[in-house]
Chain A
Amino acid sequence: MTRALDARAVSYSYPDGTSAIEAFDLTIEVGERVALVGPNGAGKSTLIQLLGGLIDPDSGSIAYFEDEVPADDLRDRIAVLPQQPDEYLFNSTVRDDLEYGPAQLSIPKTQASKRVDALAERLELTGLLDQPPFRLSGGEQRRAALASAVAVNPDLLLLDEPVADIDPAYRERILSLLDQRYEDGETQIVSTPNVDLVPHLADRVVLLNGTGNVVADGPTKEILTDSSLLEQCGLAAPTVTKLFEMGGAAELPLTVGEGADRLSDLLE
């Protein structure tokens, strides 16, 4: 299988000298969906920026698609969505922002407009296209930022807390968009401290502790049902999982849907 990303012994310190990431290794195959899960301050956002090639590691190397080409030369294949959407949207109107990436990459205008209109409709941004992004609400900005990131149709998408501050209806829309892109073959790396969301976002979890070290790396089900492992990192199992664990269930669900199925089985 082709590797979408191969990070070897990556270390990074903040400008004040504090170590953020030390000797971090991660290999992600094309078509995988991976969540970087850890408590606040674990360095998840820094890691997303390092893996997205936006900041350079102090040591170590990161290769994309089994090539030695730097990330800046692969911006048509790699997209990074940061945690703060207002720092991602810097054009005069939402439409200009959605078209920014395709315009930089010289994608023909008709093709870009088609993509932008489809994304705007999907994320309910159509009525906001002529608005200045600075005037949107936090949730609207996050949807606009996600649409801007995927407008270049990347092969590798890195997302830093993509559904934080989003209300449930729009969260479903975003998760459905990410699901569809994953099914179409997009590789996704998502960082989040919200364990309840992880089963919707990833099939593999890289668990980080408070100092940014990898504590575990494995299938989502295996990691999120191991309460003692999660507690070591200052996290807790998803609410539904915890409920069934406390009830003494042998097999633990990860999502509300799975929990509901389990309950109806029990009731029958």
Chain B
Amino acid sequence: MTVVDQTLAAVSERVQRLLEAEQTPQRDGFLQAVDPAIKIVGLFALIVVAVSIGTWPAQAVLLALVAGLTLGSRVSPATLARRIAIVPAASLVIVAPQLVLLSGNSVLGPVTAEGVSYVLTFVLRVTVSVSLLSLLILTTRVADLLAGFRRLGVPELGVSLIAITYRHLQVFFDELSRVVRARQSRTIADRSAGQTWRESGSMLGSFLLRAFERGERVQRNARARGGTTMAAYPSDSDLSRADGVFVTMVATVVAARIGMWVL
């Protein structure tokens, strides 16, 4: 298996697992019990709070809240960490120069206390925001998420676009796995870097064509079944105790943030 094949197979497998993670939304957890529309509004409110806070201790408190929500929703912390790790890591790489660029008291050689505080705040902010988004996806069925957006009055075009994108990403990466498997099963001799490069180009062309045609067929099948908007029956959504607890929790965090502003 060439490096190109290995990379494509790994990326494809990872994305498919990400898209098909439907087990956690069915678990009997805290966020799973919250009404999807309330959950969308609440988690986005928490993200806004995280984005607006400029100190790392306050971000750490929010991270602790995220950890509590993760455990309460019976989501494995390792699963959440695997899903989000790349984003905080990338943000750390981007802001790391600030450790030495920001002027202030030195803590270790050219590293300043202000720089450490800035980088910590930035990375924590990204971690909290991405974790909250991931929790939304991990604890909500796609159909319920779309139903929640509809109930919140998001324009139908936007909801349909999300639905179609979700569906076609699955098709795209499933087709990629198939093409890589087909090539792998028929590749016997070792290939030179030049040959691998040429064959990968040809494979990419045929993959795009196949993915496009398969996407068309999936779209036709959706039409055959009554429409492409992915309208679905919402889960039974009588307001529960979990909704009350969640709303209270979010309201407290938002009120604390406003209090910090005023004071």
Contact of A76 among B142, B167, B221, B226 (CB under 8 A): B226
Q: Which DSSP category, helix, strand, loop or mixed, fits chain A's interface?
A: mixed
Any A CB within 8 A of the CB of B141: yes
Given A96-B232, A99-B232, A104-B226 in contact, is the A134-B170 Cβ separation under 8 Å? yes
B218 near A100 (CB under 8 angstroms)?
Answer: no
Q: Indicate whether B20 reaches chain A with its CB closer than 8 angstroms.
A: yes
The answer to whether B26 and A100 touch across the interface, beta carbons within 8 angstroms, is no
The contact string, 1 if C-beta is below 8 Å from chain B, for chain A 66-82, is 00000010011011101
Q: Specify which chain B residues have a CB less than 8 angstroms from the CB of A86 in the assembled complex.
A: 174
The 0/1 profile, CB within 8 Å of A marked 1, for residues 13-33 of chain B is 000100010100010000000
Is B225 within 8 A of A84, CB to CB?
no
Give the chain A neighbours of B167 by CB distance below 8 A. Answer: 90
Given A103-B233, A152-B226, answer yes or no on A55-B170 (Cβ-Cβ < 8 Å).
no
Q: Specify which of B20, B22, B221, B232 is in contact with A103 (CB 8 Å cutoff).
A: B232
Which residue of A79, A88, A93, A100 contacts B22 across the interface (Cβ within 8 Å)? A93
**With A72-B223, A104-B227, A104-B231 as given contacts, are A91 and B143 in contact (CB-CB < 8 Å)?**
yes
Q: Does A180 contact B (CB under 8 A)?
A: no
Given A87-B218, A99-B233, A92 and B20 contact (CB-CB distance below 8 Å): yes
Q: How many chain-A residues does the 8 Å CB contact rule pick out?
A: 37
Q: Are A100 and B220 in contact (CB under 8 A)?
A: no
Contact assessment for A92 and B143 in the assembled complex, using a CB-CB cutoff below 8 Å: yes
Residues of A that sit less than 8 Å from B by CB: 49, 52, 54-55, 72, 75-76, 78-80, 82, 84, 86-88, 90-93, 96, 99-101, 103-106, 109, 112-113, 130, 132, 134-135, 148-149, 152
Q: List the B side residues contacting A148 at CB < 8 Å.
A: 225
CA separation between A84 and B174, bound complex, in Å? 14
Residue of A nearest to B16 (CB): A134
> Are A49 and B220 in contact, CB atoms less than 8 angstroms apart?
yes
Whether B229 is near chain A, meaning CB under 8 Å from some CB there, is: yes
Nearest CB of A to B213, in Å: 9
Q: A75-B225, A82-B217 are in contact. List 10 more A-B contacts (CB 8 A).
A: A54-B221, A79-B224, A82-B221, A82-B224, A84-B217, A88-B221, A90-B218, A99-B233, A104-B226, A149-B225
**A76: B residues at CB distance < 8 A:** 226
- Report the minimum CB–CB distance from B222 to chain A (whole Å): 7
